[in-house]
Each structure stands twice: as structure tokens, then as C-alpha cells.
């Protein structure tokens, strides 16, 4: 018997409520679209499930979702609290003071922001946070990760990825940090953005496969491993990825035999 609620939605008997975007959301969405339009997507041979237009639309939606993650505020709170409490353990006093000053200045900019004006995809520039201070936050995040302060490290990388959504390395670190924290859904989202930006990033493919295996989704894991294998066979990659793929294929074969 068909689910009456699913049937009603499918037949259009229940209308979606129109959600009005505020000025900030609309401005950010326009800049995300402009950024995605500027990207060069590689043409793949053979039948394609997704057209170029659909790929771009998919990436736009992923970037929009990354901005409005429900846990985003918690990540920001954790990141700022950690910088305030432990920042001086990773930075010299001069850098720490500069970082505090730039944060304060960024807050003032946000208070005076006119959302009707163009908001860049790289919020870093709009908030006038220097590359040096982005690197300082990155160093704190790496230091926290080495000390197994995984949630703090993840929060800092999430913050960096929001400041510069075009930075592949930040998204990659978000994926790794989320996977380490057991936040598999966030890890998969981050790896998906990485793959959309660089489809040849073999690490993101294999880590995505690991996440799918954790979720018990063997089919999706096999697809990612197959794509990773093609990359490894057709390009020069570090031996670590060859070894990881072999270990994952072996583990997957054992699961399929059970």
C-alpha cells in the first residue's frame, strides 16, 4: 500500500511553503553561483549521468548547504573559544594580538554591512582578514589535531572553509576532521565539494569510500574505489593511496563474502 503522504507530495497535492530569502542569503547565493560559473569542469568520456549544467547546480547547492549547516554556530563558538583559551600556545604573542585585532575589526565590518551590496564568495576579503592570519588559524587547527583535540580542530577548519569557500585544502581538512570526529554526514559533504572542485583528488575519493563503508553503503563505497583506482592507474600518485586502496578492496571483499 503506498504511503499517502509520499503520494500526496509526489502528485503535488501538498504545496511547499514559499521560503523568503533574506538579503544576506540572496547576496551570498548570487556570489556562489558566480563562483561556480567561473570554474572549469573536466569533460568526461562516455555516457554522462550529469550534464555540465547539472554539475554546476549540484555544487551551488552543496556550497549553499555548507553555509547554513545547523551546527555552524556551534563550530564557530568552539573555534573562537579555543583561540581565546589556547591560541597563545600555538602562536607568538605578536601574531596572537594581530589575530585578535583582525577578529575585532571583522566584527565591526559585519555590524556595518549592507547586504544589498555584493558579498564575495571569499568572505575573508570582505572581513579584511589577512592571509597571514588565515595561516595562523590554520596552524592552530593543525596543532589541535596533532594533540587529538579533534572537535576544536574541526571547528577551526570549518571556520576557515566559510571564510574562503574556494580553498580546496580547507574543505579537505573539514572532511578529515569530521571523519575523525565520527560526523560522517559532514565528512561526506566536505569530500563531495572537494571532488566537485577537483575530480582527480584521490584522497577525497578513498576517504569518501571509507565513510560509505562506515555507513554500510557498499555500493557507493565501491563506486568511489573504482574511480580512485582509475585515477591511480592513469596518473602518478603517492604510494600511500595505492596501499590504502588495496587495504580497502581487501576489507570490502571480505564483507561481500560474509
pLDDT value at residue 137: 96
Q: How far is residue 181's CA from residue 179's CA, in Å, rounded to a whole number?
A: 5
The pLDDT of residue 23: 47
3-state DSSP assignment of residue 59: helix
Per DSSP, the three-state class of 69 is coil
Nine-digit cell string for 182: 565520527
Q: Which CATH number fits domain 52-186: 3.40.1350, 1.25.40, 3.50.50, 1.10.3470?
A: 1.25.40
d(CA 171, CA 164): 9
Q: What angle do CA 62, 195, 79 make, to 5 degrees?
A: 60
pTM score over 0.85: no
Max Cα-Cα span within the chain: 68
CA-CA distance, 234 to 196, in Å (whole number)? 19
Digit-by-digit pLDDT tens for the chain (258 residues) are 444 433 333 333 433 334 444 444 565 666 677 777 777 665 555 445 456 677 777 777 766 665 555 577 788 889 999 999 999 999 999 999 999 999 999 888 877 776 666 666 678 888 899 999 999 999 999 999 999 999 999 999 999 998 998 899 999 999 999 999 999 999 999 999 999 999 999 999 999 999 999 999 989 999 999 999 999 999 888 889 999 999 888 776 655 444
Dihedral sign, Cα of residue 220, residue 224, residue 225, residue 229:
positive
**Domain limits of the chain?**
52-186, 199-258
CA distances from 210 to 59, 194, 222, 225, 230 (A): 22, 15, 10, 9, 17
pLDDT the model gives residue 237: 85
Amino acid at each position: 500500500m503506498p504511503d499517502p503522504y509520499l503520494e500526496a507530495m509526489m502528485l503535488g497535492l501538498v504545496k511547499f511553503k514559499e521560503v523568503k530569502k533574506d538579503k544576506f542569503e540572496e547576496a551570498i547565493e548570487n556570489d556562489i553561483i558566480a563562483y561556480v560559473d567561473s570554474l572549469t569542469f573536466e569533460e568526461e568520456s562516455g555516457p554522462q549521468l550529469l550534464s555540465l549544467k547539472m554539475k554546476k547546480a549540484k555544487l551551488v547547492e552543496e556550497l549553499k548547504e555548507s553555509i547554513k549547516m545547523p551546527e555552524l554556530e556551534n563550530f564557530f563558538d568552539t573555534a573562537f573559544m579555543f583561540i581565546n583559551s589556547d591560541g597563545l600556545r600555538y602562536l607568538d604573542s605578536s601574531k596572537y594580538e594581530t589575530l585578535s585585532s583582525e577578529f575585532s575589526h571583522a566584527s565591526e565590518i559585519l555590524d556595518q554591512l549592507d547586504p544589498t551590496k555584493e558579498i564575495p564568495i571569499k568572505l575573508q576579503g570582505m572581513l579584511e582578514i589577512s592571509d597571514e592570519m588565515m595561516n595562523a588559524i590554520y596552524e592552530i587547527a593543525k596543532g589541535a589535531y596533532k594533540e587529538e583535540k579533534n572537535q576544536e580542530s574541526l571547528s577551526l577548519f570549518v571556520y576557515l572553509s566559510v571564510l574562503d569557500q574556494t580553498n580546496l585544502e580547507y574543505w579537505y581538512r573539514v572532511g578529515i576532521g569530521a571523519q575523525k570526529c565520527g560526523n560522517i554526514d559532514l565528512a561526506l559533504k566536505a569530500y563531495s565539494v572537494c571532488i566537485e572542485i577537483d575530480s582527480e583528488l584521490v584522497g577525497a575519493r578513498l576517504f569518501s569510500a571509507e565513510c560509505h563503508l562506515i555507513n554500510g553503503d557498499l555500493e557507493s563505497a565501491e563506486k568511489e574505489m573504482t574511480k580512485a583506482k582509475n585515477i591511480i592507474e592513469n596518473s602518478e600518485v603517492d604510494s600511500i593511496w595505492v596501499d590504502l586502496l588495496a587495504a580497502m578492496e581487501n576489507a570490502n571483499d571480505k564483507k561481500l563474502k560474509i
